[in-house]
Structure 1
Amino acid sequence: MNFLYRILITTVNVFILAAILPGIAIVNNNIFTAVIVALVLAVLDAIVKPLLILLTLPATILTLGLFLFVINACIILLDAHFVHGFKVDGFWYALLFSVVLSFFNSFVHKRAFPNTKKSNQF
């Protein structure tokens, strides 16, 4: 159920950010396209992102973790490539979109589910 909430939050945030940010567009302002973007983004984050992090570990360590922003932007560009109707004008727009989307997803998730805390018990 938590997965569905995360997809819903990401869908709403993608739809809003596509309307606000320059260089990011959802063709015809279709909410269904935003749902597909959120689902593809979840799959890419689960499968492709860990592989990219593992392959680029030396660059990530050398840049003290800042290369993870590049990986996030690449994931957004891959999402735009796979989803018809989701347009990203370039790398810098993808970078801006990924940073703002991560911030808003975190913010909304913490506000919507304030009592869900991870337990560090054995």
Structure 2
Amino acid sequence: MDLCATALRVTLVLVLVSIAHAQRRARCPNTQTCGGKGIPLSEEERTQMSLKLRDLCGWEYQDGHKCKKECDKTYYSCMTCHKIFSKNTAWDDRSKLGCEHAAKRFVAIPAPSGTKPGPSEPGPSEPDNRPPVLYHFI
């Protein structure tokens, strides 16, 4: 009886600890119309899109000027509107960064250099408005 109760208590503690430390997803910067949550981009996706690990903070003050300090960035893809956005990486000790802003903004993805879009094939000039034909095979 004691072994079962102990096993149950240990399991409950492990579940509660894992819930308390679960990673929360970043919200999309477009809170008025989207409100979706972002999933972090992998290292490969970040490299493919030429996104920098360190970039300007981008925090906009009330008087209109922006913070020009460099911060570590984490990039996300919104699951609802599918836009890429960046967020200043959260560190436990923000005083080491030189910037304490939690700036979040959409990212303009740079066009890949040296590639030209190929010619696209034209679609049909007129839509097919013929009625469907049903065949009897029996």
Normalized per residue, which structure has more strand? 2
Asked if TM exceeds 0.5, the reply is no
Normalized per residue, which structure has more helix? 1
TM score, norm. by length of structure 2: 0.28
Q: Which has the larger radius of gyration?
A: 2
